[in-house]
Amino acid sequence: MSAHEAASIGLTHGGSEDTGLGHRGPESKSIVVPYGFWLFVLSDMVLFSALFATYASLVHATDGGPTTIQLFDRKLVAVETLALLLSSFTCGLAMIASHRRNIVWTQIWFAVTGLLGLLFLCIELYEFTHMIGEGAGPQRSAFLSSFFTLVGTHGIHVFSGLLWLGTMMAQLWAKGWRQHVERRLLCFSIFWHALDIIWVAIFTIVYLIGTLP
Amino acid sequence: MSPIFGKLTWQAIPFQEPIPLITSIVVIVALAAIALWITRIKAWPFLWNEYITSTDHKKIGIMYIVLGFVMLVRGFADAIMMRAHQFLAVGQGQGYLTPEHYNQIFSAHGVIMIFFVAMPLVIGFMNFVVPLQLGVRDVAFPTLNNVSFWLSASGALLVNMSLFLGEFARTGWLAFPPLSEKAFSPGVGVDYYLVALQISGVGTTLTAVNFVTTILKIRAPGMSYMRMPVFCWTSLASSLLMLAAFPVLTATLALLMLDRYLGFHFFTNDGGGNSMLYMNLIWVWGHPEVYILVLPAFGIYSEIAATFSGKPLFGYRSMVVATLAICILSFTVWLHHFFTMGAGANVNAVFGIASMLIGIPTGVKIYNWLFTMYGGRVRFTVPVHYLIGFMLLFVGGGLTGVLLAIPPVDFIVHNSLFLVAHFHHVIIPGVVFAILAGYTYWFPKAFGFTLDERLGKLAFWGWFIGFNLAFMPSYLLGFWGGTRRMQHISDPTWKPWLGVELVGAFFIAAGIAFLAIQLFYSIKTRDQRRDVTGDPWDGRTLEWLTLSPPPHYNFAVLPDVHGEEAYWHRKQLAIERATLIPEPAYQPIEMPVNTPTGVIVAFFATVCGFALIWYIWWLAIVGLIGAFAVFVWYAWQDEHEHIIPVEEVIKNSRERRRIRQQNLQNLSQSV
């Protein structure tokens, strides 16, 4: 249903006492789509909260194997975090450029976002392979199982985000500005910032607390 | 293990076991016959265009309900096999099912009844009813809705495939570790369970996103929160629960998959794993799941109580508050499923009290339904039979629940037949009766003719008597120490009670048979039972405003809502003035187009799932890439809507107005 039609029905309503949200009738797609996507992101956060709970309850179940303080390297994670947070910033710049209908800068900032995301993933992969090489793989102990699952699930999300970003850049390049393309860019930026929020929690709960003396 | 076929060999087909083999052959022959028949009457294009690829919430709702009823027959076949076996496997008797087979049957029964009967039926009613009651044309994301359905169907298909290829889990419906770990369940059974539930669980999460968005953002003008019908409120509460609970299920099952497939140590006995973590996580999903099912059922009862009593629902506001109270409380009680874990007296007391608290809002609801009926002109139709049967039984089921919420009592009856009796006592009258009542109530809206009353009442008595006979003795057996899931019962004095329970199962079978006969008879005599008005029950909510069956776009012009009971208000006004409201200004309508996205995505999900179960890695990768390709292909399309011309809208709407005008005249002549 178009916004125009809903508005025309609203007029026939003629000053009723009702001031509820339903008064105007159905919301337009530009409201409904990001709203629905927000809900999806929230459900994703619930999924992560289950993984955080698992990590928190298994973090000391090392089965005689390596512990957090022996494994984590704050400097490496600092670089990783910087890359991801910067990518959120450039994603914001890309969105500003898209509001100005500047296709060149939009694409450039999205490309930078993607590259920073890729850098983040590479560092994570390096960390993972390094740990597995040292005999601290996910099969070693319940603690390591939960570490690899929590951090790895975030990594898979970043990877899916990169696939999505690539698709969106291709759509923008092939089709230019369309309403549905713009809605999806907004959803993508919600997703990308949400991954940052999750990462901040991982950084704090896993790495920061894990490397406290 | 072959690189091409993984673990799949000819041994996967149960040649040695006659029961699954014959059942599989019968099912395959029946499916082939149905496919052949559809081909003969050339109905494939109709099915493809009108149902399979449809983005119409009503069609998707009907598909969910069909899936649910078909799976009900499957789940019930498991049930009657178990009851027959229990009767025969007492004392000297050995029954006819081996322990391996019996364990698969009770696991499959639980999984199918919850995930592929109750869930599709509840979601089916939400799909069909909610947009109509809100006075709008579709849900927020119609294509996503179609995808959700096909993902559920994909899960159902995989569970049923286990009958013919390999085996199903022998672990009970929640697959508790360490039994469900690779070390103790090395076969494909648990993998079937995990993969099927992952796929359908994703579908359910997407449904939740869709319905929360729809109910909060897409309502007719004037349809404020406190004017929404109670079924919409309960659907909202249920969707919120799904949104918050199903991701936990996804995470939990994923962790168990990691344990099984990659040798992780979440729930294993070694490596520092903790199987009680699984209990906590799965019940954080599992307890809200109970309310995901029962809240919409309460909504159905509320609609029925008001309509057939000819009165507004008593205590509408308290009903809304009670619904939301249950919604929140349901997340605070998960530990009562394992008081015996040994969390300590204080923890158990907190969860016991929280569990008992849920009885309060539920009690509020029972009184509201009673007071709705009190002083009303109750029409004793089939839905009202279910409503009264529900209230009589559910109070008892709720009371045994309060008993179970007392930790010391729970220590005695934990894992016993008492528990089995309790949850069937709440789920069958609570959810199944509501579904059957809702099916009778909304059937004319969906298909344009009513169901036969007499056969419907026979079906009700089959279910009502059958339920009581089949489960009440279990309370006694539970008190006497009967443990659940036993393949053999050593005490011969229990045989008469097990006999009563078997007779009960036969009564329920008769109830199901009457439902089938009712459907065929009603279709046969549909010309005498047409619902020409679109309002066969003198309804009060907006779905009765439009035609039966409604046009694709539901309403020619979105109705303007001026109070609670949107349609009742409008109807009374028209009767008072003996005329309809003036003809509105019609406009062309934009509707979503059909899409094969859902069925293709589900196809690749099924392929990928099947490959994971049988360790066929290359095929799993093909499935994943296929699903991603469909996603990109769908995203690339531009046209997701088509326009219905104004002439068609006017033609349909004038026809409806002509019928309604005629009705008004008949009414004024009769007065």
Test the A interface: residue of B209, B228, B631 with most A CBs within 10 Å = B209
Prediction ipTM score? 0.94
Could you write out the three-class secondary structure of B461-491? HHHHHHHHHHHHHHHHHHHCCCECCCCCECC
Chain A / chain B CB contacts < 8 angstroms: 175
- Terminal Cα-to-Cα distance of chain A (whole angstroms): 60
CA distance A167 to chain B (A): 7
- Chain A residues touching residue B277 (CB < 8 angstroms): 54, 57-58
**Locus of tokens 């089965």:** A63
pLDDT at B582: 85
Contact status of B644 with chain A (Cβ, < 8 Å): no
Percent of chain B topping pLDDT 70: 100
Q: What is the mean pLDDT of residues B515-542?
A: 95
**Closest by Cβ to B209, choosing from A22, A43, A61:** A43
Q: Kindly report, residue by residue over B270-301, the tens digit of the pLDDT.
A: 999 999 999 999 999 999 999 999 999 999 99
Test the A interface: residue of B143, B207, B555, B558 with most A CBs within 10 Å = B558
Q: Which two tokens stand for residue B418?
A: 């008492």
**Locus of tokens 């008004």:** B664
Contact status of B179 with chain A (Cβ, < 8 Å): no
- Chain A residues touching residue B632 (CB < 8 angstroms): 167
Whose CA is closest to B396, among B492, B475, B503, B309? B475
**Closest by Cβ to A20, choosing from B225, B632, B638:** B225
- Terminal Cα-to-Cα distance of chain B (whole angstroms): 81
Contact status of B227 with chain A (Cβ, < 8 Å): yes
Q: Which residue of A has its CA nearest to B558?
A: A9
pLDDT at A11: 32
pLDDT at B404: 95
Q: Kindly report, residue by residue over B207-244, the tens digit of the pLDDT.
A: 999 999 999 999 999 899 999 999 999 999 999 999 99
Cα gap B331→B343, rounded to integer Å: 18
Test the B interface: residue of A12, A184, A190 with most B CBs within 10 Å = A12
Contacts of B147 (CB under 8 A, 6+ apart): B203, B206, B597, B598, B601, B602
CA distance B641 to chain A (A): 10
Which conformational region is residue B175 in: left (phi greater than 0), alpha (psi within -120 to 50 degrees), or beta? left
Contact status of B247 with chain A (Cβ, < 8 Å): yes
The model's confidence at residue B576, banded by pLDDT at 50, 70 and 90, is confident
CB contact under 8 A, B558 and A141: no
pLDDT at B127: 98
Q: Which two tokens stand for residue A87?
A: 């990518």
Which H/E stretch holds residue B7? none
CB contact under 8 A, A27 and B226: no
- Chain B residues touching residue A42 (CB < 8 angstroms): 243
Cα gap B327→B535, rounded to integer Å: 32
- Chain A residues touching residue B286 (CB < 8 angstroms): none
Average pLDDT, chain B: 94
Backbone angles phi, psi at B179, to 5 degrees: -60, -35
User: Taking 70 as the threshold, does the pLDDT of residue B642 lie above it?
Assistant: yes
Cα gap B245→B289, rounded to integer Å: 7
Cα gap A115→A123, rounded to integer Å: 12
In order along its 213 residues, chain A shows pLDDT tens digits of 333 333 333 333 333 444 444 457 888 888 999 999 999 999 999 999 999 999 999 999 999 999 999 999 999 999 999 999 999 999 999 999 999 999 999 999 999 999 999 999 999 999 999 999 999 999 999 999 999 999 999 999 999 999 999 999 999 999 889 888 999 999 999 999 999 999 999 999 999 999 998
Interface of B with A in 257-276 (CB under 8 A): 258-259, 262-266, 268, 270-274
User: Taking 80 as the threshold, does the pLDDT of residue B667 lie above it?
Assistant: no
Q: What is the mean pLDDT of residues B482-486?
A: 94
Cα gap B60→B144, rounded to integer Å: 11
User: Taking 50 as the threshold, does the pLDDT of residue B148 lie above it?
Assistant: yes
Contacts of B4 (CB under 8 A, 6+ apart): B616, B618
Contacts of B275 (CB under 8 A, 6+ apart): B176, B177, B178, B267, B268, B269
Q: Which residue of A has its CA nearest to B277?
A: A54
CB contact under 8 A, A46 and B222: no
The conformation of residue B530, written as its DSSP 8-state character, comes to B
Contact status of B498 with chain A (Cβ, < 8 Å): no
Q: What is the mean pLDDT of residues B647-663?
A: 89
CB contact under 8 A, A142 and B243: no
Cα gap B594→B474, rounded to integer Å: 49
Neighbours of B79 (CB within 10 A): 19
The conformation of residue B188, written as its DSSP 8-state character, comes to S
Whose CA is closest to B149, among B129, B123, B128? B123
Q: Which residue of A has its CA nearest to B628?
A: A163
Q: What is the mean pLDDT of residues B521-530?
A: 96
Cα gap B549→B592, rounded to integer Å: 19
CB contact under 8 A, A142 and B266: yes
Contact status of B343 with chain A (Cβ, < 8 Å): no
Average pLDDT, chain A: 89
Q: Which two tokens stand for residue B27?
A: 């099912």
CA distance B449 to chain A (A): 29
Q: Which residue of B has its CA nearest to A10?
A: B221
The tally of CA atoms less than 13 A away on the side-chain side of residue A194 is 21
Which H/E stretch holds residue B592? strand B589-592
pLDDT at B16: 84
CB contact under 8 A, B272 and A63: yes
pLDDT at B670: 63
CA distance A160 to chain B (A): 10
Report yes or no: B522 and B452 within 8 Å, Cβ to Cβ.
Answer: yes
Contacts of B589 (CB under 8 A, 6+ apart): A1, A5, B137, B553, B556, B643, B644, B649
Backbone angles phi, psi at B660, to 5 degrees: -65, -40
**Closest by Cβ to B271, choosing from A40, A141, A167:** A141
**Closest by Cβ to B224, choosing from A18, A26, A39:** A18
Cα gap B21→B507, rounded to integer Å: 27
Neighbours of B454 (CB within 10 A): 11
pLDDT at B3: 87
**Closest by Cβ to B636, choosing from A43, A58, A171:** A171
Query: How many angstroms separate the Cα of B317 from the Cα of each of B206, B312, B434?
Result: 29, 12, 22
CA distance B238 to chain A (A): 14
Q: Kindly report, residue by residue over B597-618, the tens digit of the pLDDT.
A: 999 999 999 999 999 999 999 9
pLDDT at B232: 97
Cα gap B358→A192, rounded to integer Å: 39
Q: Is B41 helix (H, G, I), strand (E, B) or coil?
A: coil
Pairing, β B589-592 against β B641-644: antiparallel
pLDDT at A114: 98
- Chain A residues touching residue B141 (CB < 8 angstroms): 36
